[in-house]
Amino acid sequence: MLTKVSLPAGLEYILLGILLGPSFSNWLNVNFGLNIPNLVDDNMLRQMAPGIAAATGIIGLVYGLRFKVSDFQNADSEHIRVATFDIIFSVLVIGGISFSVFYFYLFPDAKIENILAASAALGIMGSVSSNSLIKSIMNRYQITGKITSALDVSTKINLDINIFLFGLLFGIIHIGSTNTFIKSPIEWIVTSILLALLIGILLNIFLGREEDEKKFFVAIIGTIVFTSGIGYFINISPLFMNFILGFILANFSKIAGKIEKPLTKISEPVGILVVIMAGFNWIPLPPIFFIVAAAAFILIRFVSKRFSGYLAYASSFEKDKLIPNIGLGLLPQDIIVCAMIVDYINVYQNEFTNLVVSCILTSMIFFGLISYRLSKRLLIDAGEIRGAAK
């Protein structure tokens, strides 16, 4: 699901998680006088949390292993332009508007760090685009045109940079930092990266010559669990720490290929679990507030993506490689957002949590339903899907 299937294929698991979650059964009990028991209580959730953190860690490692510096260096400057404009504009617009609404209107008495964390999370997760959707269109119609290539490369860069930005959020606005000897945001960021670097070096030393596939696989899983456990314990995203670990191995180690092969076998069921847990943790908001908030977030994201794409085109030097409405291809959100939601919930439990989760999940469902058709129509209009393929 993470690399072979387009985003809409994961929507049913979000809905399944919502249906299985305690919030949905409580809603049915209150509104219809039912007595449906919760399948999982708070104690069970706390016991499952380290395991779920390991699951997000597996996803992070898979993405990190595919983040090659050489790919970035070889990327066309116009493709980098699209990704850069998309990330900067979307994060600033979505995050900035969210902060203004929270600070001046909805939660004027909330702690500033909570407002900043929620606004940044909405900006970063709202900025994420899906590379798997454009890959699925490329594979289905066997196309390799200029616009298709621009979307493929720019969405890949978008994913890598946004995972990194998401991890930085946990260091910049760190929960529990006053209880440790590490105080400043820079110290938390550097500490998390150095820990991932150290684990990568040790993994390379001990497994560099290992030939037994079973032992190798067990060692990899143990390393992911260990790295995710550290992240979980120090309130740094396990997704981020394993992403950094994967990046280090992909670019500075010869065992990256050996690691990626066994992880591919388990990435789909692990991805399904994470998507279900994202939906499972959803807690409904008051109906009117939910509709207004979700609709506003979807609208802001749509406008920011469309406008960032147009800005990239307007400022490009080689306009034949882009089109004015290329932003339509940046609208789908990747399944990685569900892993971000899970990590966010584990650390940032405050008055903004339910609002952030509700907006992001609703956005994923909405854009998941419409984005395949919009992206396909974009490539048809660009002349890259022709004839019977339409």
What per-residue confidence (pLDDT) applies to 3? 42
Residue 223 pLDDT: 93
CB 69 within 8 A of CB 251: yes
pLDDT of residue 27: 76
C-beta of residue 107 within 8 angstroms of C-beta of residue 351:
yes
pLDDT by 10-residue block (mean), the chain, 390 residues: 45 87 80 76 76 93 92 93 96 97 94 96 97 92 92 96 96 73 79 92 80 81 93 93 94 84 84 91 90 97 97 95 96 93 93 96 93 93 74
The closest alpha carbon to 332, from 371, 386, 390, 276, belongs to 371
Predicted confidence at residue 387, as pLDDT, reads 60
Asked whether the beta carbons of 334 and 131 are under 8 A apart, the reply is yes
Asked if residue 119 lies in contact with residue 98, where contact means CB atoms within 8 angstroms, the answer is yes
Return the pLDDT at 257. 81
Give the Cα-Cα-Cα angle 42, 44, 46 (nearest 5 degrees). 70
**In contact, 371 and 332? CB cutoff 8 Å:** yes
What pLDDT, on a 0 to 100 scale, did the predictor assign at position 4?
A: 41
